[in-house]
Amino acid sequence: MLSPDHSLGVRDCQHARYSFLGFLALFLVRCLMPRASVFAVAMLLLLAACAGRIPMGARNGSVGKTNDGCLIGGARLESNDDLLVLNADNCWGTPELVELLQAAAHEMRAAYPEAPPLVVGDLSREGGGRLSPHESHQSGRDADVALYATDNKTHKRFLDMTRGALDVPKTWSLIQTLLEKGHVQYILMDWEVQKLIYDEISLFVPEQELSRIFQYPRPRGARAGVIRHAAGHRDHMHIRIRCPAGDVYCTD
Ligand SMILES: [Zn+2]
């Protein structure tokens, strides 16, 4: 939930927007008053910076926390042959997240030409901020992605996954593809769905690798593995990337 007292992330977004407006105002002043000395303009800039605590590095990128933040200058994820975006309003993310999803979808298409496109649900709104019904998805670092179904059809919604309905080879391939890129911080997935994948791939994936990637078979609350249990994630997985390098006001 967005805290009522406007915590750090949201304030930083506001400052970043104010700083942009400040620079714009100063630019106009400079145009309208060409004789104003460089020193005077510099002083005005300094005053504006002090007054607004301009976070220079925050003018683009993920700002604040995923559950209390925003997104400045985000990139838009669009549908193509490899990828289907379910909601064209909520498809904004950091360039790193958008490129990760595009690359993963492209690689899945190459590996499984007959597979349906990667179905992607919400990322963030343009500009980020609160996006109901999610608690996170505020700062361009979260994406909901469908799990592959054994019927190999394109479903324009997320399907509840049970044994037999989940295409484990494709879903495991997608997870590996995402993790290889190096940006993923967590994948949220119901513990029971983790079990479905784990049971099948444990026949050929080394235990050390499984332990690094999956929380299962540890308890649901265990702080271990990249893939963690979260309620409401039986029909999709939630991908969160780390704060992109250079997004100095992003909070992991
Ligand atoms: Zn989500």
State residue 54's pLDDT score.
Answer: 44
Expressed in angstroms and rounded, the spacing between residue 82 Cα and the centre of ligand 1 is 21
Phi first, then psi: give them for residue 129, nearest 5 degrees: 90, -175
* Predicted local confidence at residue 52, as pLDDT: 46
Q: How many A from CA of 146 to the centre of ligand 1?
A: 11
How many angstroms does the Cα of residue 37 sit away from the middle of ligand 1? 52
What pLDDT is attached to residue 60?
Answer: 85
Calculate how far, in angstroms, residue 134's C-alpha sits from the geometric centre of ligand 1.
Answer: 7
**Residue 94, pLDDT score:** 97
Q: How far apart are CA 136 and CA 124, in angstroms?
A: 9
**pLDDT tens for each residue of 33-83:** 666 666 665 666 555 554 444 455 446 899 999 999 999 999 999 999 999
Give this prediction's pTM. 0.80
The CA-to-CA distance between both ends of the chain, in Å, stands at 17
What is the rounded CA–CA span in Å between residue 134 and residue 123?
10
Ligand 1 geometric centre to CA of 238 (Å): 5
| Lookup result for tokens 């780390």 | 242
Q: For the segment 78-88, what is each residue's pLDDT rounded down to a tens digit?
A: 999 999 999 99
**Amino acid 53: pLDDT:** 44
Q: Where are the chain's structural domains?
A: 8-59, 74-241
188 CA distance to ligand 1 middle (Å): 8
Task: Quote the ligand 1 centre to 189 CA distance (angstroms).
Answer: 10
CA of 142 to the centre of ligand 1 (A): 6
Query: How far apart are the C-alpha atoms of 81 and 158, rounded to whole Å?
Result: 19
What average pLDDT does this structure show over 234-240?
Answer: 97
Q: How far is CA 199 from CA 163, 172, 219, in A?
A: 11, 12, 16
**CATH class, range 74-241:** alpha beta
Query: Angle formed by the axes of helices 168-180 and 191-201, to 10°?
Result: 100
Tokens of 125: 């709104």
Taking all residues of the chain, what is their mean pLDDT, rounded to a whole number? 86
For residue 65, give the nearest of 126, 20, 2, 123 by alpha carbon.
Answer: 2
CA of 227 to the centre of ligand 1 (A): 13
Rounded-to-integer distance, Cα 30 and Cα 26, Å: 6
pLDDT in tens, 98-152: 999 999 999 999 999 999 999 999 999 999 999 999 999 999 999 999 999 999 9
Q: Is 152 left (phi over 0), alpha (psi -120 to 50) or beta?
A: left
CA 112 to centroid of ligand 1, rounded, Å: 25
Quote the percentage of the chain above a pLDDT of 90. Answer: 75
Per-residue model confidence (pLDDT) at position 242 = 98
